[in-house]
Structure 1
Amino acid sequence: MSARVLVVDDVLPNVKLLAAKLTREYFDVVTANSGPEALERIHAQHPDIVLLDVMMPGMDGFEVCEKIRADPAIMHIPVVMVTALSDASDRVRGLEAGADDFLTKPVNDVALFARVRSLVRLKMMTDEWRLRESTSGQLGMLVATDSVHTQTAEAARVLVVEDSAIDLDKIVETVARDRDVVTDTDTCAGGLELALAEEFELIVISLTLMREDGLRLCSQLRSHEKTRQIPILLLADETDMDRIAKGLELGANDYLIKPIDRNELLARTRTQVRRKRYQDKLRANYEASLSMALTDSLTGLFNRRYLSAHLPRLLDRSGGNNKPVSALLFDIDHFKVVNDTWGHGVGDEVLKEVAQRASRNLRNFDLVARLGGEEFVVIMPDTDGNQAAAVAERLRRRIAEEPFAVSAPVGKIDVTISIGVALADWTLDAEGKPESGDALLRRADTALYQAKRSGRNRVVMDGAGE
């Protein structure tokens, strides 16, 4: 996963070192040498994450972070403070100023890259929810949610998986300050059972369990629909940085190093609960806005009207950051034969199952819409042409390799799709404008036509086969 990273430090060697490390990992790096310059860079360069030094003359990192969080245009950008300060009180101050994490110099490379990737994934998901909410608001369907930092963090339901009685007592006593309701268990199996049976806003998992693997529980929680969006806070020893990085890769949201500092635990807990409540509000607000005007009544996917409103905004945002956007246009092969042979009721069953398989095999921030009839479109942000072609081929196989169960006497029928793929072109035309959404879809449609002409049940990239 690539991303644009802003590195802020008044010491040039520190900037060069961090920039070199990030560049080797294929990140796009922007730099600034002071707080005011950092704020200018954020507005001009739109970074995906900010690595911010604390000890700077004039405007220190705490003040910069507070200004970022106070500006609605940039408040959703993740901020990681990087500093020589190592006291828990400094970390707590940074978290209270709005920082997402606090890395101590010299920076551990494993921790750095894992944290950047984790926070960028979170930002991508939040950005997509905010964009969808904004699109619905533009259509006059709802009022926008405010921000993460205006959410309350009190009276949350917290699940703790910890087999150390001393640490468990400290956790329960600390989070109870916010009137949180804490449920605890000392086994991963018990934690998974509770998480699936009850409602929680945060799950705290120890990686120092004596007889079990907390990372396995992280993986299991992220594999279940009910628990996929619940924040996970890991507890670990300082020597467990490799396992912490693996946990972040598996989908954990944050971590805390033992011995547990009560104030830092409370600050990190509040941050995760606020973020969960903000995302829940975005999702609920967005879902409440969906109506027959925006969704296809048969498949539940977006319809052409929503796509027409959303795609230009997505292209405008991504084009300004030079981030790739790909479109997949596909339809069902010989769909008229299905309707003529088995009836329109079976045809509707096929359409619904195609929509479900497509949705299951794409990321939750990819946009899937039914254009009409048997034609569908997928818009994939931050995805280049090669990646999109690979996703399209995987989707084609998911449709073709497993017969569709239908209500007709035959029981099951084979279904295939043909897919055209196109990558958005950011080249400006004579009027200084990039390619429109309609033009992108036309190129995908041309590729789809080529796939049909070449025998169907295949993927063709825009320009291939000419």
Structure 2
Amino acid sequence: MSARILVVDDVPANVKLLEARLSAEYFDVMTASNGAEALAISRRAECDIILLDVMMPDMDGFEVCRRLKSDPATHHIPVVMVTALDSPADRNRGLEAGADDFLTKPVSDVVLIARVRSLTRLKMMTDELRMRAITSLEIGMQAPERSAVADTGKGGRILLVDDRESSYERLATILAAEHTVDVEPNPTEALFHAAEGNYDLLIVSLDLNNFDGLRLCSQARSLERTRHVPILAIAEPENSTRLLRGLEIGVNDYLLRPIDKTELLARARTQIRRRRYTDHLRDNVQNSIEMAITDALTGLHNRRYMESHLATLAEQAATRGKPLALMILDIDYFKSINDNYGHDAGDDVLREFAVRVRKSIRGIDLACRYGGEEFVIVMPETDLHVAGMVAERLRRSIAGEPFAIHKGTKRIEVTISIGLTTLEQKGEAVADVLKRADTALYRAKHDGRNRVVSQAA
């Protein structure tokens, strides 16, 4: 799907010119002639990027941008101000209002299209994260939009890669007013430094001696630990062609020398705010994935995960000709614990039970809550004899020490019964293995509980 560009300008000729330029590059173009119309379109999530004029009646572009960036529904939409205003004060005012860039007319087609493509790629990546994070709201996680709107972009960790002492000393001094800054004058060490430093922003000079700054930017984009760290490139005015190439390979923003102090700080804050927002989105996605496969009470994997992962483990065991042990554990007389001490006590027992299970198994073993007070442990590359020893050790761990309930004010005896079997026949259905372990568990309970019963394949 083509990116949707909203052009906002009260001069029809300007609108038509931008529309023609963008349409020629196969963007979908929408137009608005005033700020109120632009805000309405943006709130309906109908655009991916906004090209915004400054000098408009009723509401100027600075105010439109401030409203967009202060609204949780629209703050993530990139805004590029395209205006005839060309003073540093106007540029800084636009960046302070939250604009992602400030282009002065006349803007070359190459610069405009490169910037639009760079920002729309970023917007579409953010949209994908936002879409994946929607589930997080449904399961009670906090949406990051309001914190993103309130974020000042200050207090970030910045790595400055520049081998000219006069340059990096001035830049570091400016940035240190709002951020923690590390300087790396050796570009060959910069990538290692960036990967280890957990930075919010990389600032890279493209005028390094005997080193290609763009190659460093490209390497940062290809390395997993720095792939999502924003990059702000700095170059001489005559290097505009290299800057455009930088935008294509993943540079997020750029500055031309001589560097304006206010503009440097404003662009750094913009990139750091965006980094924090996308990190929060990624965390929400990861947490929602973990919650989907994890039992909330015990922290063990849930039945859904066990059923899908067990099938994979069984297939691997059959392919490699290795044994696979499986045990089903049931807490004895668990209903009486709930009846006599309350469901809170039952929850205390389940949580402590999960802790003891983790201590008794290996890292490669899979422990799951199967349902209620039943649990399943799957042990790859483990035969029936070894699995029996592990099961007996776990049984003794449970029975050997009373369980604390009611915040430690009372302790009760708890035992478990275990049914154990192995998958040793190639092609055997996982359901048959579970059924055999369940049959062994039934025998353990029938024979008096607090014991391990094995049933060979």
TM-score after normalising by structure 2: 0.63
**Residue matched to 2:97:** 97
Match of 1:392 in 2: none
Q: d(CA) in 2 for partners of 1:109 and 1:93?
A: 24
Q: For 1:240 and 1:25, how far apart are their aligned partners in 2? A: 24
Contact 1:151 1:278 in 2 (8 A): no
Return structure 1 stretches of 4+ with deviation > 3 angstroms: 335-346
Q: Counterpart amino acid of 1:57?
A: P
Within a 5 Å distance, the mapping from 1:173-184 to structure 2 comes to 173-178=173-178, 180-184=179-183
2:159 is paired with a residue of what secondary structure? strand
Deviation of 1:190 (Å): 2.1
Q: Does 1:129 align with 2:103?
A: no
CA distance in 2, matches of 1:189, 1:31: 47
Task: Indicate how the Cα distance of structure 1 residues 154 and 260 shifts in structure 2: closer, same or farther if over 3 A, else same.
Answer: same
- Once the two structures are TM-superposed, the CA of residue 282 in structure 1 deviates from its matched residue by 2.3
- For 1:274, the equivalent position in structure 2 comes to 273
Q: Distance in 1 between matches of 2:75 and 2:304?
A: 32
Once residues 48 and 160 of structure 2 are traced to their aligned partners in structure 1, the CA distance between those partners, rounded to angstroms, is: 31
Asked whether the equivalents of residues 70 and 149 of structure 2 are also in contact (C-alpha less than 8 Å), the reply is no
In structure 2, C-alpha distance between the alignment counterparts of 1:172 and 1:96, rounded to whole Å? 20
Q: Tell me by how many angstroms 1:44 deviates.
A: 4.6
Amino acid at match of 2:37: E
Segments of structure 1 that go 5 or more residues without pairing to the other structure are: 297-302, 306-334, 347-405, 408-466
| Cα deviation 1:155-203 (Å, max 9, x = unaligned) | 322111112323212211111111x222212332121121123221111
Q: How many residue pairs align between the two structures?
A: 320
What letter corresponds to residue 276 of structure 2 in structure 1? R
Aligned equivalent of 1:289: 288
| Alpha-carbon spacing, 1:304–1:33, altered in 2? closer, same or farther (3 Å) | farther
Q: Amino acid of the residue matched to residue 196 of structure 2?
A: A
Distance 1:168 1:341, change over 3 A: closer
Check the 8 A contact 2:187/2:211 in 1, yes or no.
yes
State the partner residue of 1:206.
205
What is residue 421 of structure 1 aligned with on the other side? none
Is the Cα–Cα contact under 8 Å of residues 6 and 32 in structure 1 kept in the other structure?
yes
- 1:55-204 equivalences under 5 Å are 55-140=55-140, 142-145=141-144, 146-178=146-178, 180-204=179-203
Secondary structure of 1:66's match? helix
User: How far apart, in 2, do the equivalents of 1:29 and 1:294 lie?
Assistant: 42
Q: Deviations over 1:244-264 (max 9, x none)?
A: 111111111111111100000
Asked if 2 retains the 8 angstrom alpha-carbon contact of 1:61 and 1:81, the reply is: yes
* Deviation of 1:337 (Å): 8.6
SS at match of 1:159: strand
Pairing of 1:208-287 with structure 2 (within 5 A): 208-287=207-286
Q: Is the 8 A contact 2:84 2:106 kept in 1?
A: yes
Normalised TM-score (structure 1): 0.62
Aligned to 1:8: 8
- Amino acid aligned to 1:21: R
Find the aligned partners of 1:124 and 1:251 in 2 and give their Cα distance: 14
Distance 1:224 1:111, change over 3 A: same
Q: CA RMSD in A?
A: 3.3
Tell me: CA distance 1:256–1:13, structure 2 relative to 1, closer, same or farther (3 Å). same
Counterpart secondary structure, 1:184? strand
What is the aligned-residue identity percentage?
Answer: 53
Which letter does structure 2 place at the counterpart of 1:185? E
Q: 1:288 to 1:23 in 2, by over 3 A?
A: same
Amino acid at match of 1:41: I
Shift of 1:43: 3.6
CA gap of 1:267–1:21, structure 2 versus 1, over 3 A, is: same
Partner of 2:29: 29
Q: Secondary structure at the match of 1:293?
A: helix
CA–CA separation in structure 1 for the residues paired with 2:81 and 2:184:
33
